[in-house]
Amino acid sequence: MNTRFLSTLCAVADTGSLAGAARAIGLSSAAVAEQIQALERGLGVRLVTRLGRAVTLTDEGRAVVGAGREILRRVADLTQVAQLGRLSGTLRIGSVSTALMSVVPPTLRYMAEHHPEIALKIVPGTSSQLLSMLENGAIDCAITVRPAFEIAKEFGWHLIREEPLTLVYPAEFSFGRIEECLSSSSIISMYRNSPTGRIAERFLQDKKIIAKELFEIEAAEVILVLVSQGLGVSLLPDYGFESSRERRIRKVAVGDRAYSRQVGILYRRGARISLIDAFHAAIENDSVS
C-alpha cells in the first residue's frame, strides 16, 4: 500500500472535498481522485461518497482514516529513528493563542538559528481542540494549558511556566481591594468551559463575589481591547501582555498561586521525542536568556 495515498485520504477527510485536499497537498483534483480510487481498489471497499463537490467518508473510510493516521505517524517516527544522530524532520506543534503571542515567536527564532533542519508546522487552536488533534495524531505536541484530568500514559508533559491570575482593568480606574473592583464593575469573562475560564470562575466562587458579567469571550486579546475601551474589567492569566497607560490597561495579580494557570508542552511519546526535546530546550533557553 502506498502511504502517500493514505495521506491523500486523510487530507480529503480534513478538508471535506477533493479540491480542498488538492490545495492542501499540492496535487490536482484529478490526481487526488485517482489516488482515492487506487486505494479503494487495493482495499476492496468504497471509502468516500460524493454529493456535488462535497465528499463524505463511508464507515469504512472513517475506519481507514483512523488507522491510516496512526500508520503515517509510525512511518514518520521510523524515518526519525533512521536519522538518529542528527536532528531533522518535521515537528507539528499546536499552540493556544496566548502562547502564539508570547512563547512561540522567540522559540521559532532560536530553532531557525540552531536547528535549521527541523521543519516546524504551527497549528493554532484552543486547549480542547489541540488535545483532540494530539489524540488523533494530527499534531506531535501542543503548547497548552495543563489538562484538569490525569494525563494518559502515552502522553508526556513539560511545564513551561505558571501564569498568575490577574485583575485587568482600565488605566483610569481607581479602587481599593480587588474584591471591591470585581463586585462593582462589569466583568468581561473568558469562556467558562475553557481551562482559563474555570480558574477565574473558581476564584469568584471562592471569594463569594457576585459578578455582573457583560461579555463571555474565548479570546484574551479581544478582552484586553474591550477593557482598554473602558467597558469593564477581567480576570486573566498573566501570559506576558503589556500593561501600560499608553495601552490604557493595568493589571494586578490576585496574589494566590492556587489560581495560577500552568502552561506547558503536552506531547505524544515516540521516536519524535528528540525533536520535541529540542523544541522544549529552545523554550527554556529563551526563558533564561
Domain 83-161+262-288 shares a fold with domain 165-259: yes
> For residue 85, what pLDDT is reported?
55
220, 98 in Cβ contact below 8 A? yes
> For residue 289, what pLDDT is reported?
43
In this structure, which topology does domain 83-161+262-288 adopt according to CATH? D-Maltodextrin-Binding Protein; domain 2 (3.40.190)
> For residue 263, what pLDDT is reported?
95
**CA-to-CA distance for 176 and 63, rounded, in angstroms?**
59
Amino acid identity of residue 268, one-letter, is R
Cell numbers that stand for 201 in this block = 470562575
Task: List the domain boundaries for the chain.
Answer: 3-65, 83-161+262-288, 165-259
Residue with cell 467597558: 231
In this structure, which topology does domain 165-259 adopt according to CATH? D-Maltodextrin-Binding Protein; domain 2 (3.40.190)
Query: Which parts of the chain have pLDDT scores under 70?
Result: 1, 77-86, 244-245, 271, 286-289
- Architecture field, domain 3-65: Orthogonal Bundle (1.10)
Burial 63-79 (b: 16+ CB within 10 A, else e): ebbeebbeebbeebbee
The strand pair at 261-268 and 141-145 is best described as antiparallel
- Could you tell me which of 218, 148, 150, 151 has the C-alpha nearest to residue 188? 218
> For residue 186, what pLDDT is reported?
94
> For residue 286, what pLDDT is reported?
63
> For residue 107, what pLDDT is reported?
94
3-state DSSP assignment of residue 66: helix
> For residue 288, what pLDDT is reported?
42
> For residue 193, what pLDDT is reported?
85
